[in-house]
Amino acid sequence: MKDKFIKAQQEKLTLGAIDRRQFMTSAIAAGIAIPTALSLASDAIAATPKKGGKFRMGLGHGSTTDTLDSGTSENHFTLVNGYTFGNHLTEINNEGKLVGELAETFESDDGKTWVFNLRKGVEFHNGKTMTSEDVLASYEHHMGEKSTSAAKGSLSPVRSIKADGKYKVIMELDSPDTDFPYIVSDYHISIRPAGDMTSGVGTGGYIVQSFEPGVKSVLKRNPNYWKEGAAHFDEVELLSIVDPNARQTALISGEIDAMDRVDLKTINLMKRNPNINIMQATGTAHYTFPMRLNVDPFGDYDLRMALKWAVDRQELVDKILLGYGAVGNDIPIGTANYFHNSDLPQREFDADKAAFHYKKSGHSGKIQLSAADAAFAGAVDAAQLMANSAKKAGIDIEVIREPNDGYWSNVWNNDAKGWCACYWGGRPAETMMFSAAYVAESKWNDTMWKTTDSAVKFNQLVKEARKELDESKKRDILYECQRLIYDDGGLLCPLFNSYVSANSKKIAHGKIAANWDSDGAKCVERWWFA
Amino acid sequence: MHPVVKTVLERLGLGLATLFFVSIIIFSAIEMLPGDFGQAILGQAALPETVAAFRQELGLDKPAYIRYFDWALGAIQGDLGTSFSGRNASGADRSAEVVDKIAPRLWNTLFLASMAALIAVPLSLILGILTALYRNSFFDRSVNTATLTTISFPEFFVAYILILFFASLNQIFPSLANVDPDTNFGERIYRTALPAFTLTLVIVAHMMRMTRAAIINLLASPYIQMAKLSGASQTEIILKHALPNAWAPIATVIAFNLAYLVVGVVVVEVVFVYPGVGQLMVDAVRTRDIPVVQGCALIFAVTYILLNLIADIIGIVTNPRLLHPK
């Protein structure tokens, strides 16, 4: 009871509804010792966002081919930049929950027809008021026959999109999908004014002042920003600093206030610096080794099972992620996902089980595993470690070091290579992750798990899950989907990697989102100077 | 025709022929790069239809020789084509001209190169002459040891050491050399100080030791002995008699190092986050932005050929035997 009262008072103090003195009085009245009350008060005040300052951030991505067109956005620099100047119909908040953004509310009776009620009085940076016309134009940008947008695939289930008045958009899907509102939060599908999809005019908290691809983006606070309690900095400078050492030096010498992707090899040195905070978020991102069922010998159930048991996952977490991550359980759904199946026993290294299945598969000779650090940092080392542990079970894995160049076109998702290293950023909704890489019709189905009995059942279940509006029924279906991948799928997923970033202690923030690096890639509008 | 003019014209003609062959090599090398722009830009998300739409739009479906002549004819007229990035079939075309993309970066690179050259060339000439003058002394040995030490380390190591002492432990210079077109001249010099020092440390040894060797080599020749016998001082002998004859090898080495400053400083650019042309080219290769790669490679080739041409001409012009033929 007391805790609840103090918490409520703290919240009021954070929001400025009461002042420090009033808080102290009520805390002491509730029987709390003065030093404790004082520290409670300062905790709450530190959590109160303050306006102002110039925020400089160093990002480990960025290339001269970057643009302000969200359709070609493909790296973390364009992602953060895009979320800084643009908004979407929905967003995933820092608790991992889906909420409306430019769509104030959204609803569907059957999961097939979705109605998005747009927020009124939202202005673009060029002064134009946002209406359904702009939403339509923005979606058409990603959907047409000739569209080169990377979101074309995820919007392909949309059969028609139309406006109903100025503030209502109705989308009709080919088949029901109760997770569709997650898709529209995707960073590619930014809402821009009709007729201008590429010049970086959006509705976001910051206005682009100058953008030099591969170098930097300079932004200024949008004085008319509609979102309350967001966009606290006056000015923002996003710098592309690809070299991790340069990024870390810049943070240590105070030339930037925050950075993403800390080099884990030197993280202990960074930790010693008294002015720097290290942040870690384990979300949906994971490292995988997909086995293609249509390439010999991976079509064999026992061989796949043998390899799944032959990996020492904890060793990979310790040596490849240096502890910054979690073991994977051969499902593409992480603990950060709402319907993560925690009933499945965690797979560990078991030489006996691996040897048993290997013997049963009847395979002999080398099994080739292709890897390059283009897949993820340390992929080649991870493959070597896997080969080592598999040897203990009598399985001979030959690691082939592939060139980084052209890895995604020549090695990954290519029938020339049966088994390779890969990474996935993960998806906020389970059915989205399944649609991306595990359902039969997906172009990125890198395991080609399509024709086994389990795969056929899986495909049916995913369709059912998309239709299901009842939460507990949906949970049962999604749990079963995960079990099918876990048992029969071609997915070997040993690692969930954490996003590790660092910032100066001058920066304050609320709870950190885990759906993307950099606080869900929305750190610029969420953080402030303490 | 004066033999010097004739030689210069000959060299110029050879330079143009070299450039032609280099352009063919550049084009074929890029043809052989694996991967494709659409794949690279869309990464994991590339669907075959999207990639095909990209290829058609960029004209990559035409045969290679047609694309070569289109490009070469354009390049002669100063048009290096349009960059692949920023194109979008469904939206407005925001792709930049390659020339516009390279120009600001090239200017940055030239700025850094000239800054490093302005420090390094006089420094190495003076050190070279002094070490030749006081050869085998303690001074000579310590300068040699110091410069050989700095050239032996990889440039990123030198860069990090400088960052450690001048940016991290003592915050004298910035560790980020992030300049933009609005940066004023003074600020620009301040921001590029550390990269310029790094480059200086990396190239001084080569030029300085060449100067020293060239001069010492000449000191054994009969005409220097003659000058010595006629009573000229050591300084006079080196500056008046030895140096004029030593210019040719020195100029060649200086030209080589200047060319290196323009084309080979990618590592330093990455460490200091300097927006130079090397970084642009590496980015372009990674994303298969072919017109930009070709443009950069061509500019690098021209730089090498021009600087070597100038070195040759200096060698000829300062060579008394070529200047006064019998």
Cβ-defined contact of B163 to A63 (cutoff 8 Å): no
Within 8 A of A152 by CB-CB distance, chain B residues are 47, 50
* pLDDT exceeds cutoff 70 at A30: no
Of B175, B273, B284, the CB nearest to A64: B284
3-state helix, strand, coil in chain B (%, to 5): 75, 0, 25
Measured in angstroms, the CA of B167 and the nearest CA of chain A are apart by: 7
Cβ-defined contact of B94 to A410 (cutoff 8 Å): no
> Is residue B126 domain-shared with residue B41, that is, in the same domain?
no
Our count of domains for chain B comes to 2
Higher pLDDT, A44 or A370: A370
Of B53, B272, B279, the CB nearest to A146: B53
Residue B273: count other Cβ atoms within 10 Å of its Cβ.
Answer: 26
Question: What does the alpha-carbon distance between residue A56 and residue A54 come to, in Å, rounded to a whole number?
Answer: 6
As beta bridge partners, residue A215 has: none
Per-residue pLDDT of B193-229, as tens digits, reads: 999 999 999 999 999 999 999 988 888 889 888 988 9
> Is residue B260 domain-shared with residue B314, that is, in the same domain?
no
Question: Which residue in B has a C-alpha nearest to residue A200's C-alpha?
Answer: B94
Cβ-Cβ pairs closer than 8 A, A with B, add up to 156
Question: What does the alpha-carbon distance between residue A430 and residue A179 come to, in Å, rounded to a whole number?
Answer: 9
pLDDT at B313: 83
Q: Residue A217 belongs to what H/E stretch?
A: strand A216-221
Segment B16-25 mean pLDDT: 91
> Is residue B138 domain-shared with residue B222, that is, in the same domain?
yes
pLDDT at A40: 61
Q: Which of B100, B157, B272, B273 to mutate to test the interface with A (most CBs of A within 10 A)?
A: B273
Of A197, A253, A412, the CB nearest to B167: A253
Within 8 A of B92 by CB-CB distance, chain A residues are 196-199
Q: Are strands A206-212 and A168-173 parallel, antiparallel or unpaired?
A: unpaired
pLDDT at B89: 38
Question: What does the alpha-carbon distance between residue B175 and residue B268 come to, in Å, rounded to a whole number?
Answer: 11
Percent of chain B with pLDDT over 70: 90
- Provide the pLDDT confidence category of residue A86 given band limits of 50, 70 and 90: very high
Q: Are strands A495-504 and A276-288 parallel, antiparallel or unpaired?
A: antiparallel
Per-residue pLDDT of A37-50, as tens digits, reads: 666 655 555 567 89
Pick the closest to residue B214 from B305, B137, B131, B306 (CA basis): B131
Segment A224-245 mean pLDDT: 92
Percent of chain A with pLDDT over 90: 64
Which ranges of A288-335 does DSSP label H, i.e. alpha helix? 301-309, 313-319
Question: What does the alpha-carbon distance between residue A217 and residue A394 come to, in Å, rounded to a whole number?
Answer: 53
Segment A90-101 mean pLDDT: 91
Question: Any idea what DSSP says for residue B137?
Answer: S
Question: Given the structure tokens 């301040």, which residue do they identify?
Answer: B190
Higher pLDDT, A11 or B182: B182
Per-residue pLDDT of A306-360, as tens digits, reads: 999 999 999 999 999 999 999 999 999 998 888 999 999 999 999 999 999 999 9
> Is residue B232 domain-shared with residue B301, that is, in the same domain?
no
Between the ranges A306-320, B3-17, B238-252, where is the mean pLDDT highest? A306-320
Within 8 A of B171 by CB-CB distance, chain A residues are 253-254
> Is residue B132 domain-shared with residue B271, that is, in the same domain?
yes
**Average pLDDT value for chain B:** 84
Cβ-defined contact of A246 to B41 (cutoff 8 Å): no
Within 8 A of B44 by CB-CB distance, chain A residues are 408, 412, 444
Which range (A426-435, B66-75, B284-293) has the least confidence? B284-293
Which range (A334-348, A404-418, A432-446) has the least confidence? A404-418
* pLDDT exceeds cutoff 60 at A512: yes
Grouping H, G, I as helix, E, B as strand and the rest as coil, residue A397 is: strand
Structural domain range at position B155: 101-286
Q: Is A255 on the interface with B (CB under 8 A)?
A: yes
- Provide the pLDDT confidence category of residue A102 given band limits of 50, 70 and 90: very high
Q: Is A286 on the interface with B (CB under 8 A)?
A: no
Question: What does the alpha-carbon distance between residue B255 and residue A398 come to, in Å, rounded to a whole number?
Answer: 48
Pick the closest to residue A304 from A478, A470, A449, A421 (CA basis): A449
Q: A521 — alpha (psi -120 to 50), left (phi > 0) or beta?
A: left
Question: Any idea what DSSP says for residue B237?
Answer: I
> Is residue B39 domain-shared with residue B141, that is, in the same domain?
no
Surface of A (403-432) touching B: CB under 8 A: 403, 405-406, 408-410, 412
> Is residue B22 domain-shared with residue B58, that is, in the same domain?
yes
Token pair in block for residue A149: 């947008």
| 3-class SS string, A31-97 | CCCHHHHHHHHHHHHHCCCCCCCEEEEEECCCCCCCCCCHHHCCCHHHHHHHHHHCCCCEEECCCCC
> Is residue B143 domain-shared with residue B64, that is, in the same domain?
no
* pLDDT exceeds cutoff 90 at A259: yes
Any idea how long chain B is?
326
> Is residue B165 domain-shared with residue B208, that is, in the same domain?
yes
> Is residue B16 domain-shared with residue B76, that is, in the same domain?
yes
Segment B64-92 mean pLDDT: 73
> Is residue B156 domain-shared with residue B229, that is, in the same domain?
yes
Q: DSSP string covering B280-320, please? A: HHHHHHHTT-HHHHHHHHHHHHHHHHHHHHHHHHHHHHT-H
pTM: 0.79
Per-residue pLDDT of A189-232, as tens digits, reads: 999 999 898 889 999 999 999 998 888 999 999 999 999 999 99
As beta bridge partners, residue A528 has: A508
Within 8 A of B38 by CB-CB distance, chain A residues are 148
Residue A36, CB-side half-sphere exposure with 13 Å CA sphere = 10
> Is residue B136 domain-shared with residue B240, that is, in the same domain?
yes
Chain-centroid distance, C-alpha A122: 27
Q: Which of A65, A197, A257 to mutate to test the interface with B (most CBs of B within 10 A)?
A: A65
Pick the closest to residue B295 from B127, B137, B81 (CA basis): B81
As beta bridge partners, residue A226 has: none
* pLDDT exceeds cutoff 60 at B276: yes
